Structure 1
């Protein structure tokens, strides 16, 4: 079993990577942030925060993955 590294060392990098994957997939599909937040029934600011790699809930990522029609695991790879 591995010890968890200090949060400040790895969490921000992983959150940014998830946000980048969300943004890349949204753009690949030619969707705007407005289209995503409206379809996912979440706040506009939430989509902006996800793409910026700020704190995000799993439930939010599930909604976004549904709208983008990608497996949630694709956002975490």
Structure 2
């Protein structure tokens, strides 16, 4: 078991990495943000927040993973 760092400074880096993987997959599939947001039934700001590493709900990531047909774990890996 790992010890949790003294502060949460590592969290934004992890969220950005998840967002980068989501954006890379969307672009690999040649999909626009609009196509993904409509298919996932989320708004543009929510998708932007996900792709830029802001706080997000797990359910939002699940929706986007589903629409992109990618296992959720692929976005969460280190």
- Structure 1's consecutive aligned runs of 4 or more residues displaced over 4 angstroms after TM superposition are none
C-alpha RMSD over aligned residues: 0.7
Partner of 1:50: 50
Tell me the residue number matched to 2:70. 70
Normalising by structure 2, we get a TM-score of 0.94
Aligned length: 76
Instruction: State TM-score, norm by structure 1.
Output: 0.95
More helix by share: 1
1:46-77 CA-partner distances (Å, limit 9, x unpaired): 00010001111110000000000000000011
Q: Could you say which residue in structure 1 is the equivalent of 2:4?
A: 4
